[in-house]
Amino acid sequence: MDFYQEKITTIHDFSQDSDLMLHHLQELATSRRSVLIIPMLYKEIESPSLSNIVYELNKCNFIGEVIISLAADNKEQYEEVVSFFSNLDLNHIIVWCNGPSVTKVIEEMKEKDLNISQFKGKGKDVWIAIGIASLNSYAIALHDADIVTYTKDFPAKLLYPIINPKLNFLFNKGYYARINKDNRMMYGRVVRLFVRPFIDALQKDVGCRSQVIDYLRAFRYILAGEFALTSDLALHLRFPSDWGLEVGLLAEVYRNSSLKRTCQTDLGFYDHKHKDTGEDITEGLSKMVNDIVLTLLRITNETTSIQISNAFIQGLYVKYIRSAQDLIRQHYADAVCNDLIYDRHVEEKYVEVFSKILLNTGNSYLETPLSVQMPDWKRALSAVPDLREQLKNAALKDLELIRT
C-alpha cells in the first residue's frame, strides 16, 4: 500500500467503506444521473464473467441505465444477447452497432459529409453508445464485458469521483494489479513490457519533451478499459477507433480538460481473458501493439517539435529494448518476493516481438502518418442535430422487431 500521488490525483483504496459509497451514490442518483456502457462481442455471452457482471450490477441501484454496445453477426445472435440481458434488473438497452437499423443511420450521415462507416471495432461502438448515453445523463462509465473479478464496487469506484459534488472530477481512469491469484501469474504484458518502456524511451532517451507524454506516464495502468467521465466532456472527445482507444482517449482528455479535474482510482485485483500474441499485426497482442505505436507516434507528432525520421525510429527501437529489459529484471524481483510464477525467457520473447512491431510500424508511419480518430460528438451534432435520437430510435426499432 502506498500514499504516492502522481501528476494527476490518485485515489487509493485504504479500506474504503463500499456500503457507504453505494448509499451516497444512491442519494445522488436523481440529481446526477449515471449511465454505464458495456461494449461487447456476441461470443462474450458464453463467458461466466458476464453472468457475474449482471449479478453484481443488479446491486447497483445508483445506475440509471446500462447500454450494451453490441457487435453481432446476425439477428439470431442479437436476439440471444437480448434474451441474456433479460436477467438484468436495471433499465438497459441493447444497441446492435453493426445491425441494419443503426447501420442505416450511419450511412445516412454521409449525406452531411460525416463518414464513420470507414471505422470498425470497439472504438466505433463506444462512440455510438456515448452519443446515446449523453442524451440523459450527468456521468458515463465504461468497462469491458470479460472482467473475471467484477464486483459492484467497480462501477461505484469509477463513478463516485465524478458524481460526488465535493470532488467534481471530469474524468476518472481505473487502475489495478493484473495478477491472477489462482495460478500465481502476472499479466498485463502490453503495459508492462511495451507501453511503459516505450514511453520511458520516448521521454528519457530520445529527447521527447512533451507535457502530454509526461501526463500519460502518470497513469498507473494506461490501457485500462475502465473509466468514467461527465457527459459534457464525452461530447468533446475524438475517440480513436482501434486498439489505440485507451491511449488516444487520455490524450484527448488532456486537450479538453485539466490535470486538476482528472484522477485515477484503484480497482484492486483484476483479471479478464488473455490474448495470444497473434501471427501478425492483424490479430492478438500484435495488433494491439501496432495500433498503440501509431497512436503514440501521432501524439508525439502533434505535441512536440521533434521530427520523426528513420533515425528517430531506430533510436527509439534500441532504447525501448534496453528499457524493457531493465523492467523485466524488476518484475522478476517482484515476482520472486511474491511467490509468483515468472518466466524471464518468455518475457524476453515478448519484447523481441514487440520491438519488431515497433520498428516495422514506425517505418510504415513515416510513409503514411495515419489518423484513426473519429469526429467528436459536438461536430457530429452540428451536422446532424438529432443524430443521438436517431441512433437510440434505431436500437429500439431492432428491439421491437424481435418482440413482435
Of 6-20, 215-229, 295-309, 333-347, which gets the smallest average pLDDT?
295-309
Q: Rounded distance, CA 267 to CA 158, Å?
A: 8
- Helix (H) or strand (E) run with residue 290 in it: helix 284-303
pLDDT of 143: 95
Question: Does residue 358 contact residue 320 with C-beta atoms inside 8 Å?
Answer: yes
pLDDT of 241: 72
As a whole number, mean pLDDT of residues 249-262 equals 93
pLDDT of 213: 86
Whether 189 shows a pLDDT value over 60: the answer reads: yes
pLDDT of 205: 61
Question: Does residue 206 contact residue 319 with C-beta atoms inside 8 Å?
Answer: yes
Give a yes or no: residue 234 inside a domain: no
Selection from 201-205, 270-274, 318-322 with the highest mean pLDDT: 318-322
CB atoms < 10 A from the CB of 111, how many?
Answer: 9
Q: Rounded distance, CA 99 to CA 102, Å?
A: 6
Q: Rounded distance, CA 114 to CA 117, Å?
A: 9
Q: What is the CATH number of the domain that holds 162?
A: 3.90.550
Whether 183 shows a pLDDT value over 90: the answer reads: no
Give a yes or no: residue 298 inside a domain: no
Q: What is the tens place of the pLDDT at every residue in 99-157? A: 999 999 999 999 999 988 888 888 899 999 999 999 999 999 999 998 989 999 999 99
CB atoms < 10 A from the CB of 65, how many?
Answer: 18
Give a yes or no: residue 54 inside a domain: yes
Give a yes or no: residue 8 inside a domain: yes
pLDDT of 375: 92
pLDDT of 287: 86
Selection from 4-8, 36-40, 270-274 with the highest mean pLDDT: 36-40
As a whole number, mean pLDDT of residues 325-336 equals 95
Average pLDDT, the chain: 90
Give a yes or no: residue 70 inside a domain: yes
Tell me the pTM.
0.92
Give a yes or no: residue 249 inside a domain: no
Cα–Cα separations (whole angstroms), residue 64 to 31, 33, 35, 79, 141: 11, 6, 6, 23, 11
Q: Does residue 261 sit in helix, strand or coil?
A: helix
Which has more pLDDT, 108 or 244? Answer: 108
pLDDT of 214: 87
pLDDT of 59: 97
Whether 206 shows a pLDDT value over 60: the answer reads: no
Of 112-121, 160-169, 267-276, 350-359, which gets the smallest average pLDDT?
267-276
Closest C-alpha to 217, from 13, 6, 358: 6
Give a yes or no: residue 378 inside a domain: yes
Give a yes or no: residue 47 inside a domain: yes
pLDDT of 212: 87
Whether 240 shows a pLDDT value over 90: the answer reads: no
As a whole number, mean pLDDT of residues 269-292 equals 69
Whether 165 shows a pLDDT value over 60: the answer reads: yes
pLDDT of 1: 59
**pLDDT range class, residue 279, cuts 50, 70, 90:** low
**pLDDT range class, residue 306, cuts 50, 70, 90:** confident
pLDDT of 43: 93
Domain count, the chain: 1
By residue range, what is the domain housing residue 121? 1-168+374-404
Q: Rounded distance, CA 213 to CA 302, Å?
A: 11
Percentage of the chain modeled with pLDDT above 70: 94
**pLDDT range class, residue 62, cuts 50, 70, 90:** very high
As a whole number, mean pLDDT of residues 272-300 equals 74
Whether 31 shows a pLDDT value over 90: the answer reads: yes
